[in-house]
Amino acid sequence: MTTLQLGEAFARYGAKAHNPVWSVSAWTSRNELVVSCWAHHFRKAVDGVLPYEDRLAHWPGPGNDELRANLSRALKEHSAVRLIVTTSQNTEEYGHEIPTTFRVREDLIGHVETFDGDRFVLHFRQVR
């Protein structure tokens, strides 16, 4: 897995972020949601499902509102979710000014399992 800039990671899926500074999600032309997910919020895989859980309260700025809208749409439309793994040495802070790395995980495809407007759970499985 190659480390990329976030815009390059979105482009690997054919998506373009609305705003390259604060967008953490974008749509592909195939109606798949691409989401940048923090590596430290993944849970242990169980029965082939790799769960990711986070809260929008952690995500500052306008990217938060965009992600909220995109998660709501993906849940409503049962859209596939594609994954960018975001890693930071400082897991206590959030924001575009925090040094991070991005990796595309084309081997996984997911969906929005639950979303209550703040807390969300994504489930990812190996692509067959």
What 3-state DSSP class applies to 3? strand
The pTM score is 0.88
Instruction: For residues 42 and 52, give the distance between their C-alpha atoms in angstroms, rounded to a whole number.
Output: 4
Q: What range defines the domain where residue 24 resides? A: 3-126
- Domain count for the chain, please give it: 1
50-66 pLDDT, tens digit per residue, is 999 999 987 777 889 99
CB 115 within 8 A of CB 56: no
7-43 pLDDT, tens digit per residue, is 999 999 999 999 988 899 999 999 999 999 999 999 9
Query: In the structure encoding, which two tokens stand for residue 125, read together?
Result: 């499985």
DSSP string, 51-113: EEEEEGGGS-SHHHHHHHHHHHHHHHHT--EEEEEEEES-TT--STTS-EEEEE-TTEEEEEE
Half-sphere exposure of 60 (CA within 13 A, CB side): 7
Query: In the structure encoding, which two tokens stand for residue 18, read together?
Result: 């609305």
88-99 pLDDT, tens digit per residue, is 765 455 554 556
pLDDT of residue 75: 98
